Chain A
Amino acid sequence: MIRVESISKRFAGRPVLENLTFDLPDGRITSLLGANGAGKTTCLRIITGLLRADSGRVHLGEIDVAQNPMGARRQLGVVGDREGLYERLTVEEYLTLFARMQGLGGKGLRQALASVRDELELEELWRRRTRGFSQGERMKVSLARALVHSPPYLILDEPTRGLDVLAARLLRRTLLRLRAEGATILFSSHVMSEVAELSDRVLIMSGGRIVGNGTPDSLVAETGSANLEDSFVALAYGESRRANEEVPA
């Protein structure tokens, strides 16, 4: 369970997140929806501990992210909004590096590497340097890196962006497998079909606030829309217009 309790964040005096509170239950995939600039990335970074909230707390299970960042990082797998690969390292070297940094070694390391290699179909890429990889290949490596230490919590920032069909399918398959094993998964996206298909729950952000929180069906019902996209537009843009009127520039 990831618990976010009333976190707020300002950048240079401008509020980016305002009093966010939500829970992410284990064994569920939650998607985070929001227009550009809604505060999704900031929210994810606070959950991963990269940023500190001005107020509020984030717990990964029992771990307070701000107080025990090292502990939190061992529990987390993160795929950022760009892949963060090292072009001069091979896939094997890259994954070994992160596995070791996560404390793996010896047999455990070999097993973990073999497991992500097989799951994400990395055999062909394994000894190649990542320079010149396609978007899909990069995502696969990046996901493998996030998963190599089998973290119970997985955070993905727009993982499907620019993916081809096969890669997107592989990603979906992996996320579903992880959900089945009880992982807590949060990903941001603005592809509604994907969100509707994968998510158990949906969080909608607008103007630094949560404006919608529920299952896709409940959100559709709540807004009286025909589908998730319409309900997102209603929640996100209705809310942001109101927010703009309230907050002086």
Chain B
Amino acid sequence: MMRRPDYSAAQMAALLRKELLETWRDRRALLMAICFSLMFPAMLAGSTIFFVKMHTEEKTRLALLGVDNAPLLEAQLRSADLKVETLSEGEPRQLLAGGYDLVLQVGEGFASDYRSFRAPELYLYVDSSSASAGRAERHLQERLGQLQQLIAGQRLVARGIAPQLLVPWKLQVRDVSTPSSRGAMILAMVPGLLILTLFVASLATSVDTSAGERERLSLETLLLQPLPGWQVIAAKTLAVASMGWLGSLLAITALVALMPLMPLAELGIQQATTAAGVVTMGLLLLPLALLVAVVQILLALRSQSFKDAQTQLSILQLAPVILLMVLDMSRVELSDHFWQLVPLVAQQQWLKSLLVGDAVSLPWVLAGSLATLVPVVLAVALGARALRRERLLNAV
């Protein structure tokens, strides 16, 4: 064999340069990657802001019907959250349709029943199909509950019983979460979405550089050059991974940049993601970006055409992400260290920890990243073999 290995690095560098130039000059792919990378942090921030606004700022409008039967209610129910409007008459259904969140109706005989200890009825009309129903009911129950407790207390005192007898014990709740770990509620989806970003951002590029090159027959020219197939696959993998990786970096950065705008403190959540955490997250995603890139390239090379590759990859890329979300939602216990050796799951777990400001174990991260890189190497070797397949050239 007349190999000239001293050229190998320069050849590889030239090829890598070409792949990167092609990748980063592909405006459509770039635009798609950037859009998706920015879309989900923006959506997450937007929905959080909206959610908090809805739950903390909105006042409940209560229409009180028949207040003459129990004027006490009006004064005692009114609070910062609960706006009480007394109406002499009205049809509950129409009132609910006309801007009231709740309608509370006091019956005719309320006062006399109350005085004679015959628990009179209060009628609460609610439209449970309305988005505000739950919050409105909570606001009312809060006030009504306090009043109820006050009256029950007075009734006990009247009979010589200390009201604290109603409280046989005090339940002290001790929340072991931390203000930062509470963020896990909101941030639970983020690792999955970051990984999805990685997939989506590298999709167009991976199809273009494999199925696209093949369809344009430039792959043939490339294969006629004196350099081994693994270099071709490796260069393409690096270029594709660069796009996916930078997409996910952009998403992380956007997310962290948007966090101060999100009313996390109102939810008792501490923003715990540090600059160092962001950098760590980026580094953690690099091996995964390589794996995703090389797998996408392999799949695209296998497919019949450019279009076919796009379709296949769009479907296939959802699979691991859905799997991650299912794992997350089904609360499969992933805390066992060995899960950190499973690509995707490992990165998801690490991202989750870093997002809430927890530390990740360096040896396990190294081991897990290695476990992600091993299939990358295997896939590159597999890709090099695939380049020698004749079928690759025949599809035109």
Does B390 touch A at the CB level, under 8 Å?
Answer: yes
Interchain Cβ contacts under 8 Å between A and B, 10 examples: A48-B224, A49-B224, A50-B223, A51-B393, A74-B226, A81-B217, A86-B218, A88-B25, A100-B10, A101-B225
Give the interface centre of A11, A71, A103 by most chain B CB atoms within 10 Å: A103
Does B395 touch A at the CB level, under 8 Å?
Answer: no
Does A218 touch B at the CB level, under 8 Å?
Answer: no
Give the interface centre of A73, A74, A86 by most chain B CB atoms within 10 Å: A86
Q: Is the interface of B mostly helix, strand, loop or mixed?
A: helix
Give min CB distance, B88 to chain A, whole Å: 75
With A50-B223, A93-B18, A93-B21 as contacts: A84 and B217 at CB distance below 8 Å: yes
Q: Could you say which of B2, B26, B218, B228 contacts A84, with CB atoms under 8 Å apart?
A: B218
Give min CB distance, A237 to chain B, whole Å: 25
Q: Could you say which of B2, B15, B223 contacts A97, with CB atoms under 8 Å apart?
A: B15
Does A85 touch B at the CB level, under 8 Å?
Answer: yes
A100 touches B11 (CB 8 A): yes
Does A220 touch B at the CB level, under 8 Å?
Answer: no
Does A224 touch B at the CB level, under 8 Å?
Answer: no
Does A20 touch B at the CB level, under 8 Å?
Answer: no
With A97-B17, A100-B10 as contacts: A50 and B2 at CB distance below 8 Å: no
B221 touches A80 (CB 8 A): yes
Give min CB distance, B220 to chain A, whole Å: 5
A103 touches B224 (CB 8 A): no
Does B276 touch A at the CB level, under 8 Å?
Answer: no
A103 touches B4 (CB 8 A): yes
Q: B341-357 interface mask toward A, CB cutoff 8 Å, 1 = contact, 0 = none? A: 00000000000000000
Give min CB distance, B200 to chain A, whole Å: 21
Give min CB distance, A162 to chain B, whole Å: 15
Q: Which residues of chain A come closer than 8 Å to B118, judged between CB atoms?
A: none
* Interface set, chain B 353-396, CB cutoff 8 A to A: 390, 393-394
> Roughly how many angstroms separate A82 CA and B218 CA in the complex, as a whole number?
8
With A80-B221, A88-B26, A96-B14 as contacts: A101 and B21 at CB distance below 8 Å: no
CB nearest neighbor in A for B221 = A84
With A51-B393, A70-B226, A78-B221 as contacts: A101 and B11 at CB distance below 8 Å: yes
With A76-B224, A101-B225 as contacts: A70 and B3 at CB distance below 8 Å: yes
A51 touches B390 (CB 8 A): yes
Q: Could you say which of B14, B22, B394 contacts A101, with CB atoms under 8 Å apart?
A: B14
Q: Which residues of chain B come closer than 8 Å to A15, judged between CB atoms?
A: none
B10 touches A86 (CB 8 A): no
Q: Which residues of chain B come closer than 8 Å to A51, judged between CB atoms?
A: 390, 393
> Roughly how many angstroms separate A81 CA and B3 CA in the complex, as a whole number?
29
Q: Which residues of chain A come closer than 8 Å to B217, judged between CB atoms?
A: 80-84
Does A111 touch B at the CB level, under 8 Å?
Answer: no
> Roughly how many angstroms separate A190 CA and B230 CA in the complex, as a whole number?
37
Q: Which residues of chain B come closer than 8 Å to A70, judged between CB atoms?
A: 1-3, 226-228
Q: Could you say which of B1, B7, B219, B390 contacts A103, with CB atoms under 8 Å apart?
A: B7
* Interface set, chain A 47-82, CB cutoff 8 A to B: 48-52, 63, 68, 70-71, 73-74, 76, 78, 80-82
Q: Which residues of chain B come closer than 8 Å to A81, judged between CB atoms?
A: 217
Does A238 touch B at the CB level, under 8 Å?
Answer: no
Q: Could you say which of A85, A88, A102, A105 contacts B225, with CB atoms under 8 Å apart?
A: A102
